[in-house]
């Protein structure tokens, strides 16, 4: 039974890898690819939810492959944070898969959409589950290759231009990542994350380890799209087909954020020193530049692309404050944002289909012609802006409350101001696309495919559920945070029967904050 439970960490990677291979073999039959792909996404969703249930029931689950014990073999580890990321990715992938039935054309499928789509899911899930810092690099490379392929499935000039910008910055991030890994290995002699969690607290922060931490921060910052390393994101995301852009918007930057939280809780500590102040300033500048970039845009997808950047700043607030309350808020924020941001991109596709354009200056009248679309838009839009009682309100409340607890007044003020400007951007889309009279009057309204409506409604329902029944999700975020700030269970799962080297003590006030 224990072996069967341990194998649950394999399925979220094995299923998309097998599907990528099978859909590649079926390249002559797009219909067969669609059927296999959608069935695989349903199976992946079930496996993802089963993994969360197993982690809730049994605690941290670790699997060593190839009969090699840690730290020498490949480790996969599922704790509450990684299991939640796998589950929310499974929900998102299933919704995007349904949307793709109408959005992705046969020419995209013959260009390799299905193998690349499932290959990207394998890379994302592998990054969430890996217990080895070098294998995190490997999964990042899988993500990079498949992302570049998905960016150019349309084979247009704009797509190639976007892919080149994406590749240039992310390859630079890869170089920084590899240098950081080399310095870390040179100082510690191991790359297993649980092993590093045992060893690093006993070591002095040498210049090599300090450089490694800063390089990791820069590399993950590029992946997450933080200030000033974000220019590739609004230059590339809006060029892809809607289904692909929605998947990118929901997952890619969050992998960088997840990696930062994993490394700077399990391996390096944020308490004290200049690192915390650096992350705080970067978080604030990321929020500000992202929201002002969105304010001057008129293309719906470009507005949403810049808001990905601004919302990443809120997540980094949790890492900068580094208290259990702040980290729990950031974990909740990540889960909320994956669903909301992907749904807004799907809605951008529906708006374009209904209005015939995604340029707000040429749109209008959708409130009258498509009132149900207006309702579906309001749910994630108001949630992104932080309007109660939707999930975004609780996410913003948790991180801002954490900043106020440590008297980071300036950071809280920035977060509140950016929230108000986010509401302005969402209102701008509402007024231009839905409220104002149409620029071009159509005798017959354009219909929106059912395959568009179903996933938008599904993700909207998830957003409402998280917002209206926030308590269990907040409690889960607190549980995930408790295991992040004290990795004893994580270490014990990877090294069963061995006493962990590191014991972390927290002040009584900090302990009470997560209880």
Task: Please indicate, yes or no, if residue 399 is contained in any of the structural domains.
Answer: yes
Distance (Å, rounded) from C-alpha 313 to C-alpha 441?
Answer: 40
Radius of gyration of the chain (CA): 22
In angstroms, the Cα distances linking 121 to 171, 244, 308, 460 are 20, 12, 20, 22
Task: Please indicate, yes or no, if residue 513 is contained in any of the structural domains.
Answer: no
Distance (Å, rounded) from C-alpha 429 to C-alpha 151?
Answer: 25
- Sorted by sequence, the CB contacts under 8 Å of residue 505 that are 6+ apart come out as none
The answer to whether 338 and 319 have CB atoms below 8 angstroms apart is no
Return the C-alpha torsion angle 375, 365, 96, 386, nearest 10.
Answer: -50
Distance (Å, rounded) from C-alpha 394 to C-alpha 236?
Answer: 30
- At residue 2, the pLDDT reads 55
Strands 61-65 and 74-78: antiparallel
- At residue 70, the pLDDT reads 76
- At residue 163, the pLDDT reads 82
Q: Decide: residue 371, CB within 10 A, 0-12 exposed, 13-18 middle, 19+ buried.
A: exposed
What residue has token string 């690099």? 137
- At residue 514, the pLDDT reads 31
What would the two tokens of residue 97 be?
């898969």
- At residue 162, the pLDDT reads 78
What is the total count of domains within the chain?
1
* DSSP-derived secondary structure letter, 251: I
- At residue 273, the pLDDT reads 62
Task: Please indicate, yes or no, if residue 483 is contained in any of the structural domains.
Answer: no
Peptide bond into 389 cis (omega under 30): yes
Task: Please indicate, yes or no, if residue 364 is contained in any of the structural domains.
Answer: yes
Peptide bond into 170 cis (omega under 30): no
Task: Please indicate, yes or no, if residue 384 is contained in any of the structural domains.
Answer: yes
Task: Please indicate, yes or no, if residue 238 is contained in any of the structural domains.
Answer: no
Report phi then psi at 256, rounded to 5.
-65, -40
* 10-residue averages of pLDDT along the chain (515 residues): 73 96 92 94 96 92 82 89 95 96 88 94 95 93 92 80 84 93 92 91 85 92 88 80 92 93 86 78 94 91 92 93 92 94 94 88 88 93 92 93 91 93 93 85 76 95 94 94 90 76 39 34
Q: Indicate whether this model's pTM tops 0.85.
A: yes
Task: Please indicate, yes or no, if residue 66 is contained in any of the structural domains.
Answer: no
Which residues are 78's β-sheet partners? 61
Task: Please indicate, yes or no, if residue 82 is contained in any of the structural domains.
Answer: no
**H or E element in which residue 74 lies:** strand 74-78
In angstroms, the Cα distances linking 320 to 270, 275, 314, 330, 333 are 7, 8, 10, 10, 14
Helix (H, G, I), strand (E, B) or coil at 330: helix
Report phi then psi at 342, rounded to 5.
-60, -40
- Contacts of residues 433-437 at CB distance under 8 Å and 24 or more positions apart, as own/partner, are 433/300, 433/351, 433/355, 433/360, 433/363, 433/364, 433/366, 433/377, 434/364, 434/365, 434/366, 434/367, 434/373, 434/374, 434/377, 435/364, 435/367, 436/364, 436/365, 437/364, 437/365
Q: Domain containing 416: what range?
A: 271-468
């Amino acid at each position: 039974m224990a072996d069967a439970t341990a194998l649950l960490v394999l399925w979220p990677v094995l299923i998309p890898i097998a599907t990528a291979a099978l859909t590649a073999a079926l390249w002559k039959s797009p219909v067969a690819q669609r059927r296999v792909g959608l069935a695989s996404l349903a199976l992946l969703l079930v496996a993802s939810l089963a993994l969360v249930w197993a982690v809730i029931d049994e605690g941290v689950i670790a699997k060593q492959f190839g009969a090699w014990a840690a730290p020498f073999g490949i480790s996969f580890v599922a704790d509450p944070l990684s299991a939640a990321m796998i589950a929310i990715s499974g929900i998102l992938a299933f919704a995007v898969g349904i949307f793709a039935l109408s959005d992705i054309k046969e020419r995209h499928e013959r260009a390799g959409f299905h193998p690349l789509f499932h290959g990207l899911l394998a890379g994302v899930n592998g990054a969430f589950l890996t217990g080895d810092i070098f294998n995190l690099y490997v999964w990042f490379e899988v993500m990079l290759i498949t992302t570049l392929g998905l960016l150019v499935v349309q084979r247009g000039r704009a797509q190639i231009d976007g892919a080149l910008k994406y590749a240039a910055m992310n390859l630079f991030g890869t170089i920084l990542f590899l240098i950081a890994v080399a310095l870390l290995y040179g100082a510690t002699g191991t790359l297993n994350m649980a092993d590093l969690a045992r060893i690093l607290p006993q070591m002095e922060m040498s210049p090599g380890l300090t450089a490694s931490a800063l390089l990791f921060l820069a590399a993950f910052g590029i992946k997450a799209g933080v200030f000033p390393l974000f220019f590739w994101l609004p230059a590339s995301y809006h060029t892809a087909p809607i289904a692909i852009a929605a998947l990118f918007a929901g997952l890619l930057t969050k992998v960088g954020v997840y990696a930062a939280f994993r490394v700077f809780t399990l391996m390096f500590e944020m308490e004290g020193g200049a690192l915390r102040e650096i992350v705080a300033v970067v978080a604030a500048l990321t929020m500000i530049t992202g929201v002002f970039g969105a304010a001057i845009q008129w293309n719906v997808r470009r507005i949403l692309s810049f808001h990905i950047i601004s919302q990443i700043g809120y997540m980094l607030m949790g890492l900068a404050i580094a208290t259990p309350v702040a980290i729990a808020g950031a974990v909740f924020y990540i889960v909320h944002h994956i669903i909301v941001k992907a749904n807004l991109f799907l809605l951008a596709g529906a708006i374009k289909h209904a209005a015939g354009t995604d340029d707000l200056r040429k749109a209008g009248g959708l409130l009258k012609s498509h009132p149900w679309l207006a309702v579906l838009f309001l749910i994630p839009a108001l949630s992104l802006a932080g309007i109660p009682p939707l999930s975004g309100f609780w996410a913003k409340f948790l991180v801002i409350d954490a900043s106020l607890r440590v008297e980071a007044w300036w950071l809280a003020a920035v977060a509140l101001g950016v929230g108000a400007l986010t509401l302005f951007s969402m209102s701008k889309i509402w007024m231009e696309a839905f409220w104002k009279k149409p620029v071009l009057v159509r005798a017959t309204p354009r219909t929106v495919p059912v395959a568009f409506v179903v996933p938008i409604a599904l993700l909207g329902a998830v957003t409402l559920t998280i917002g209206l029944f926030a308590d269990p999700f907040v409690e889960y975020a607190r549980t995930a945070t408790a295991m992040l700030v004290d990795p004893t269970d994580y270490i014990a799962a990877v090294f069963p029967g061995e006493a962990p080297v590191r014991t972390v003590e927290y002040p009584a006030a900090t302990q009470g904050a997560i209880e």
